[in-house]
Chain A
Amino acid sequence: MVLYQDTQNFTFAEKTPFTLESGATLSPVTLAYETYGTLNAERSNAILVCHALSGSAHAGGPGGWWSDCIGPGKAFDTDRFFVICSNVLGSCYGSSGPASPDPATHEPYGLHFPVVTIGDMVRAQRALIDHLAIDRLLSVAGGSMGGMQVLEWASHHPERVRSAIPLATTARSSPMLIAFSEVGRQAIYADPNWQDGNYYANGHRPDAGLAIARMVGHITYLSDQSMHAKFGRRLQNREKFGYEFSTEFEVESYLKYKGLSFTQRFDANSYLYVTKALDYFDLSTPAGLAAAFAHSQHIKFLVVSFTSDWLYPSYHSKELVTALTAAGADVTYLDIESSWGHDAFLLEVDTMTRLLGSFVNRVAREAGL
């Protein structure tokens, strides 16, 4: 039985503002979240799943972004575990972000919304976990930017975490990652409809800019091999070249569709904020990356990378595993053979189900569940 609930809201920092890493403050803060399954009497069976760049709190249930892994009998078995997912700070699916009303003006914040970091997103999640009266999460899991949140939890709030599952991620954003983020942001800035972020009132949204940002993003989630398999050089609805600048190849058509559909579900300013948070992420310290996990020895880690992921290449995960091992943590690591590129963490369902399911079983057993 999945006790599936609609998205709920948790609002905090109404009296005392929430101070961000930048020093700026935010008040109030709202997080949209969903839960699946039932919290046990000891409140010890909670698993927090963290979404990636464009995700939402709707992780499980019909249409959920990770419904392959969340549900009765699945890796995160909702018959046994209480699964929580919240929309990140700065996003546009119900949590506070640039499209939320600024209490000072009652207009959307736009660029007056303070810049947030992965650390801020996680501290906001921690406020939600406090609100749910959960002392210790059985596990925190997520891929890509979700994986960064997992590592942030393990590094900065280790006492709240029993196990951590960072997938296809990094402890330190690479220059290449920042470069792709910036191309996406520049596409939005260059759209005259962006209007320095004040587009909410007149309804002319920077859809063209956001669509290009998404197209670039999508390329980085695929791989050379998966693009060959998925599109090849096939033409879309035509037999031969038209010698004109229309959409001719299947791959063009696919990206155009992905870009367009993204504008119908995501806010351009949120894209700026969330990518900025991605770029800032760096857990390494002057004493090295291992020092970031000096208090994480009790945490059991499952680190997974994918051989064809060139956005978060396997060496990032290997460096993380080296640091965690040096820090004395219990690490399981696998570099899964896959041709799906960065998207593999959501697509390699069979392997991921077996891996996550076995790992969570073990963690639950060792926690006495």
Chain B
Amino acid sequence: MSQALRPDLRIIADFISTGARVLDLGCGDGALLAHLVQAKRVTARGIELSEAGVLACVRHGLSVRQGDLEAGLGDYPAGSFDYVVLSQTLPFLDDPAMILKEMLRVGRAAVVSFPNWGYWRCRLELLLTGRIPSAPDLPQAWHEKPRWQALTITDFAIFCRKNGIAITRQAYLANGRRVNILKVTNLMSTTGVFLLEHT
């Protein structure tokens, strides 16, 4: 399973230290958590909406709760995890600000990955075709479920600055490959991965 780990999840796994307590929000079939348990001996917990996802997680020997992120993380005491992970889910949330705040209450740090609509091809597509570009790493169009709200790495950076969230580590992917860029990241990457802490 670890060989097939999605590129952004590989980076998230790099950000997480050995033996940490990890909560993965929207953990799907548990691929990241199963990898982290094996590779980094973490204490893994997940929240997943779909029955199929929960069943897959239990099959992988993981501890997962079925639940809806939109209801918040009220059940978890503050500081009960070292890392709270949200991978490729941010554009689908009704109240992303609330979730990010909750992640940093429940976790010492948060790890977030999301598709970047600031990528040059997206900009070009809108300019040349006049159509809303679907994110490079998302398959569905704007009218298909689940609905997304486009955002860019620049939008996210501004949000973090305004809300007292420090980006302490970052990594970028372009079409599934990690790219080592320091400037024009918003233009050059299809997905951003960020480690967040309270300032």
* Chain A residues within 8 Å of B, Cβ to Cβ: 300, 302, 321-322, 325-326, 328, 330-337, 351, 354-355, 358-359, 361-362, 365
Instruction: Name which of A322, A332, A336, A361 has the most chain B CB atoms within 10 A of its CB.
Output: A332
- Chain B residues, Cβ within 8 Å of A321: 65, 75
- Chain B residues, Cβ within 8 Å of A358: 55, 58-59, 61
B108–chain A nearest beta-carbon distance, Å: 16
Q: Is B140 located at the chain interface by the 8 A CB criterion?
A: no
The 10 closest A-B pairs by CB, nearest first: A362-B61, A325-B75, A333-B65, A358-B58, A322-B75, A358-B59, A334-B54, A334-B66, A330-B63, A332-B63
- Chain B residues, Cβ within 8 Å of A333: 54, 64-67
- Chain A residues, Cβ within 8 Å of B57: 332
Report how far A82 CA is from B23 CA in the complex, Å.
34
Report how far A330 CA is from B57 CA in the complex, Å.
14
If A325-B75, A325-B76, A326-B75 touch, does A355 touch B55 (CB 8 Å cutoff)?
yes
Closest to B59 in A: A358
How many chain B residues touch A (Cβ–Cβ < 8 Å)? 19
Report how far A145 CA is from B65 CA in the complex, Å.
23
B69–chain A nearest beta-carbon distance, Å: 15
A298–chain B nearest beta-carbon distance, Å: 13
- Chain A residues, Cβ within 8 Å of B64: 332-333
Report how far A25 CA is from B67 CA in the complex, Å.
45
Q: Are B55 and A359 in contact, with the CB atoms below 8 A?
A: no
Instruction: Name which of A325, A336, A355, A361 has the most chain B CB atoms within 10 A of its CB.
Output: A325
Closest to A335 in B: B66
Report how far A354 CA is from B58 CA in the complex, Å.
9
If A321-B75, A326-B75, A326-B77 touch, does A355 touch B58 (CB 8 Å cutoff)?
yes
Query: Which one of B45, B51, B75 contacts A334 once the chains associate, using CB atoms below 8 Å?
Result: B51
B133–chain A nearest beta-carbon distance, Å: 35
Closest to B73 in A: A325
Report how far A335 CA is from B64 CA in the complex, Å.
12
Question: Can you spell out 8 A-B residue pairs with CB atoms less than 8 angstroms apart?
Answer: A321-B75, A325-B65, A325-B75, A332-B65, A333-B54, A333-B67, A358-B59, A358-B61
Report how far A331 CA is from B57 CA in the complex, Å.
13
Report how far A321 CA is from B68 CA in the complex, Å.
14
- Chain B residues, Cβ within 8 Å of A334: 51, 54-55, 58, 66
- Chain B residues, Cβ within 8 Å of A336: 51
Contact residues of B between 76 and 90, Cβ < 8 Å to A: 76-77, 80
Report how far A334 CA is from B58 CA in the complex, Å.
10
Report how far A362 CA is from B30 CA in the complex, Å.
15
- Chain A residues, Cβ within 8 Å of B74: 322
If A325-B76, A358-B58 touch, does A337 touch B51 (CB 8 Å cutoff)?
yes
A305–chain B nearest beta-carbon distance, Å: 9
Closest to A314 in B: B66
Report how far A328 CA is from B80 CA in the complex, Å.
9
A176–chain B nearest beta-carbon distance, Å: 24
A93–chain B nearest beta-carbon distance, Å: 33
- Chain B residues, Cβ within 8 Å of A300: 63
Closest to A359 in B: B58
Contact residues of B between 42 and 65, Cβ < 8 Å to A: 45, 51, 54-55, 57-59, 61-65
- Chain A residues, Cβ within 8 Å of B61: 358, 361-362, 365
Q: Are A332 and B75 in contact, with the CB atoms below 8 A?
A: no
